[in-house]
Amino acid sequence: MVQKVRSRISVFLLFRYFFILLLLSIILLSIGCAPSVRYTRSSNGEIHLYVPRDWDYRKNYKVPQDHLQTIIQKWIGVRYKYGGMSRRGVDCSGFVCLVYQELNGFVLPHSSRKMHRMGKSVSISEARSGDLVFFRGGLFNAINHVGIYIGDNKFAHASSSNGVRYSSLDESYYKKRFAEIRRLF
């Protein structure tokens, strides 16, 4: 009888150790497969975005308007959630990250301030579909909001009060806070 109990205990312990070892292996494997950061900072502080190897870089690349609109339209109405990057809620930079990733595989930093240091500044008259629109606000009047320009002075963004929506640069709220438009490619 005592022998049977010892046998069952040793089988139980063996199973437990095997389970723990299996669990640790899965955790280590998943950490090893995690994607690396897809943007880098150069010595002068500029941030460079990850561009897929198979992407055909052209100096005057234009975002296909209909494709961009299709992607954005899927997000219209999704609620605002600070730090969010899913259909359950997105913030402004999360929305831009997700659209850019689906649009062309680019992986951007999840921060409007970091995005603002990327690409080159363009005037409103030169702005084209896919450019990023930045706004200032807050205590230090720093960059704190980003959206995607879609043409005709309109942009798509995740508004903290209305979720993902279209707005106009002509609206007084955005006109007062407008910082600049930047082109990433």
| Residues designated catalytic | 92, 145, 157
Positive/negative CA dihedral, 121, 61, 118, 90: positive
d(CA 106, CA 93): 14
The closest of 136, 153, 114, 130 to 65, measured between CA atoms, is 130
Positive/negative CA dihedral, 78, 82, 85, 86: negative
Q: How many CB atoms lie within 10 A of CB 135?
A: 23
d(CA 41, CA 119): 13
d(CA 91, CA 175): 20
Residue 14, CB-side half-sphere exposure with 13 Å CA sphere? 6
